[in-house]
Chain A
Amino acid sequence: MAIGLLAFESHQGLWNSGYYSQLFGIGGVLITLTILMLSTGYFGGIGAPFAPYFWPYLGQVPKKRERKRPVRVYMDGCFDLMHYGHANALRQAKLLGDQLVVGVVSDEEIVANKGPPVLSMEERLTLVSGLKWVDEVVPNAPYEITEEFMNTLFNKYSIDYIIHGDDPCLLPDGTDAYALAKKVGRYKQIKRTEGVSSTDIVGRILLTFRQKDADTDLSVVVAEKSGEKSNDEVKSQLSHFLPTSRRIMQFSNGQAPSPGARVVYVDGTFDLFHAGHVEFLRSARQLGDFLLVGIYDDESIRDRRGCRPIMHLHERTLGVLACRYVDEVIIGAPWEVSKDMITTFNISLVVHGTVAEGNSAGEIDPYAVPKSMGIFQTIRSPKSITTLSVATRIVDNHEAYKKRNLKKKASEDRYYTQKKFVSGD
């Protein structure tokens, strides 16, 4: 104490400045060190979570800007007698972009380049619009993509790429119909779908015509499709449709009806899938939340109607599956709608159209059960098209179609002789 006092009184100046200065200095150092340590940890801590988000964040900016404008692709075609191959081509085209614009060639252009179309422009537009992957339709598209039309696609329709299959598409003068698009680098190719074409389908119908007797009515004409192989000249039978599990997977939406969904069931042959089918399915879909479509098998149809369908079960299945109004398909559905089937699929309503191919008069009513359950309904078919009426158009113009098929067969032969594997779906 005394020493302390003495020191204090003797060195007051030193104490006032030196002592306090030292104290403050030490405190400052300690505080600084502490702050530094914490700051280091702070930045380190911040840096850890911050770093991973840094690059993605930068990457987001150009990506967002780019993502705002969807990639639009264009594909054209006649789409006469819509079939699985058309649907699969459009599905592939859609995969190459975000939006698919489809050009439907006009009736006049088809007549000029290929021969008379079976379906009218209106019918073909309905079929194309009804497909799952189609976003927009351009009616009256030209057969050949002229420079003028190509510029219209690029500027007015904001098309990024023009799409076509790997088989060549030649104009009457022998030149490539897509030469211009290829030249400007705005062309992309997809894999042609094997084993199915309008020519092949027309050929099957024409085959039945050749076997026609004077007395036979038209339904039997369509029936005797499976004729001798000596009639190969009207069929391009180089490739056959081979349905795979994966193709069915691609065409399906894979969704189940939600717990309270109202399931609507329709059944039929759905041969030569046409605009009447599309409109009927659209009307049926509006009656519920989930549309289940039963497709009869080939044997069942032959037993009931005495003639085989033009297209076989899987061709018809994929044609129906491609329709945007269809949720699920029963492949090879039974003729009669049974109570067990209604229970299994939780069917709320069974629907039938007013325009349909007739049954034999003496048949059992296939809808007896749903009628007794009070869940049967008939809806007016929006269009009066039937498979028979479509087939009739072909038979009426058989000379023109026969000539066209022969010409097509030659180019098909050439293609398949030189064919190589093309990757794609």
Chain B
Amino acid sequence: MDAGNGCSARALAACVVGGIVLGASVLALHLAGGPAAIPPLPLPPPIGALLRRRRRPVRVYMDGCFDMMHYGHCNALRQARALGDELVVGVISDDEIKANKGPPVTPLHERMVMVRAVKWVDDIIPDAPYAITEEFMNKLFNEYNIDYIIHGDDPCLLPDGTDAYALAKKAGRYKQIKRTEGVSTTDIVGRMLLCVRERSSDAHNHSSLQRQFSSGHGQKVDDTGSGTGTRVSHFLPTSRRIVQFSNSKGPGPDSRIVYIDGAFDLFHAGHVEILRLARELGDFLLVGIHTDQTISATRGRHRPIMNLHERSLSVLACRYVDEVIIGAPWDVSKDMITTFNISLVVHGTIAENMDFTEDDLHPYAVPMAMGIYRRLESPLDITTSTIIRRIVANHEAYQKRNEKKEASEKKYYEGKSFVNGE
């Protein structure tokens, strides 16, 4: 019995020790293999949640009238986009603009075309309200998944004097960008209103409207209180701005390069559509923008309304444009075609000054002779003159609006300090 018990005890002890050793070995091996085993395993919930959270893009919202889309609008949208991953743009309706600012120059559908064509725009909300009501703000946050509402550093006041973005600021869902200096719809409209006054009185003799307004040179406007322009700030194009607006890559080795040229003054929906069609004919769209002198010589001394750089940046902001020649020559020469490896030269059927057809100095004589010239049917029959005529037709209303705007601009610039941003 004793011997039996002793044997059993020894056996048990051996089993227990063996089990412990075995267990230790298994545990050790498991731990050793642990790190290696993690990758093939499905992600633990915390990491998955983190990834899931990161996968959701930050969506920002910016609204505006975007009447007579210009470089400043584009730069604002570019900055807004830089604050998030996706940019949703609210385009205010015609009725709201009329109620708050005066009649719009371009109707909603044209403004929609313009905004959608900007490189940095992901989504559009038509008929956005001028004031962001609580109801609309909640709609932005819940239905459109907006994280932040964006606006420039200049105040946006409602007719009753209150801040249009007070609600968003209170909710902590507001972010500010730097206002783009020297360009505004009011300023551009002011140049054209001056044009009207010049035509009515021959006393004035300005060689170029844009020289006065955009570059700040030449004669000062005699009647500063005329309300035809907001003269406080001027557009100053920098090399860096051009970098920001440009695409980073050039044409590929076998790219089919399409060339289209023009003034592209008061960049409008007709320009967008013709550029879109031109882009579809090739892989790379090169746009030639004529100099101020060329346009004045061919279209009269009151053109262009915008200077070369304003026009260049407006065209560069268009998503269909790959590269721009700043100050392209009137004639399309063989050398130019060779230098840029142009495969096709196109021109729209709706364009200003089609008189060159009868001239000996046809600007497209060379591409025609080379068999690479093509006429495009312009989708929209808008021209720069169309835009100007709309303003002239309502010049009384615009003049009144400009006077009101000028007052608030003056107040803003007097209190202005440096704002960090691009």
Q: Which residues of A contact B (CB under 8 A)?
A: 4-5, 8, 23, 27, 30-31, 34-35, 38-39, 41-42, 44-46, 48-49, 194, 238-240, 242-246, 248-249, 251-252, 254-256, 259, 292, 297, 299-300, 303, 312, 314, 317, 321, 328-336, 338, 340-341, 343-346, 416, 419-421, 423, 425
Contacts and interface: CB of A to CB of B under 8 A. Distances in A.
A317 B237 CA distance: 11
B30 to A, nearest CB: 7
Contact of A334 (B4, B33, B216, B327): B216
Nearest to A40: B33
A45 B40 contact: yes
Contacts of A314: 326-327
A329 B239 CA distance: 5
A249 B422 contact: no
B378 to A, nearest CB: 24
Which 7 residue pairs across A and B have the least CB separation, nearest first?
A45-B36, A42-B33, A38-B29, A252-B239, A245-B324, A329-B239, A45-B37
A332 B22 contact: no
Interface of B: 4, 7, 15, 18, 22, 25-26, 29-30, 32-33, 35-40, 181, 211, 215-218, 232-234, 236-240, 242-248, 250, 253, 286, 307, 309, 312, 316, 323-329, 333, 335-336, 338-341, 413, 416-418, 420, 422
A48 B40 contact: yes
B283 to A, nearest CB: 14
Given A34-B29, A423-B253, 10 more contacts: A42-B32, A45-B33, A49-B36, A244-B324, A252-B239, A299-B217, A303-B218, A336-B216, A421-B338, A421-B339
Contact of B329 (A31, A42, A242, A256): A242
A242 B181 contact: no
A410 to B, nearest CB: 17
A245 B418 contact: no
B191 to A, nearest CB: 16
Contacts of A251: 239
B328 A317 contact: no
A338 B216 CA distance: 11
B18 to A, nearest CB: 6
Given A38-B30, A45-B37, A245 B422 contact: no
Given A45-B36, A242-B328, A419-B338, A259 B420 contact: yes
B22 A249 contact: no
B239 A317 contact: yes
A330 B238 contact: yes
Contacts of A292: 238
B211 A344 contact: no
A425 B250 contact: yes
Given A49-B36, A252-B239, A340-B233, A244 B323 contact: yes
B325 A242 contact: yes
Contact of A329 (B215, B238, B327): B238
Q: Which of B32, B232, B327 has the most chain A CB within a 10 Å cutoff?
A: B327
Q: Which of B15, B40, B242, B250 has the most chain A CB within a 10 Å cutoff?
A: B242
Nearest to A45: B36
Contact of B243 (A249, A300, A420, A421): A249
Contact of B36 (A34, A42, A254): A42
Given A41-B37, A425-B250, A254 B243 contact: yes
Given A48-B36, A299-B217, A300-B217, A31 B25 contact: yes
A252 B242 CA distance: 9
Contacts of B316: 245
Contacts of A425: 250
Given A38-B29, A42-B32, A246-B246, A334 B237 contact: no
Contact of B215 (A27, A300, A317): A300
B153 to A, nearest CB: 11
A225 to B, nearest CB: 15
Given A31-B22, A48-B39, A332-B309, A341 B417 contact: no
B250 A27 contact: no
A44 B216 CA distance: 72
A48 to B, nearest CB: 5
Given A27-B18, A328-B240, A421-B341, A246 B413 contact: no
A9 B400 CA distance: 122
Contact of B325 (A8, A239, A244, A335): A244
A49 B233 CA distance: 59
Contact of B29 (A42, A244, A330, A345): A42
Contacts of B35: 45
A248 B243 contact: yes
Contacts of B339: 194, 239, 242, 421
Contacts of A27: 18, 22
Contacts of B29: 34-35, 38-39, 42
A8 B22 CA distance: 28
Contacts of B26: 34, 38
B242 A245 contact: yes
A255 B325 CA distance: 23
Given A45-B36, A245-B323, A343 B417 contact: yes
A333 B247 CA distance: 25
A175 to B, nearest CB: 27
23 contacts: A23-B15, A27-B18, A27-B22, A34-B29, A38-B26, A38-B30, A45-B38, A48-B36, A194-B335, A242-B327, A244-B324, A245-B324, A251-B239, A254-B240, A329-B238, A330-B236, A334-B215, A335-B217, A341-B236, A343-B416, A345-B236, A419-B335, A421-B338
Nearest to A340: B233
Contacts of B38: 45
Contacts of B250: 246, 425
Contacts of A30: 22
Contacts of A252: 239-240, 242-243
A325 B239 CA distance: 15
A384 B152 CA distance: 46
A117 B79 CA distance: 48
Contacts of B238: 292, 328-331
A250 to B, nearest CB: 9
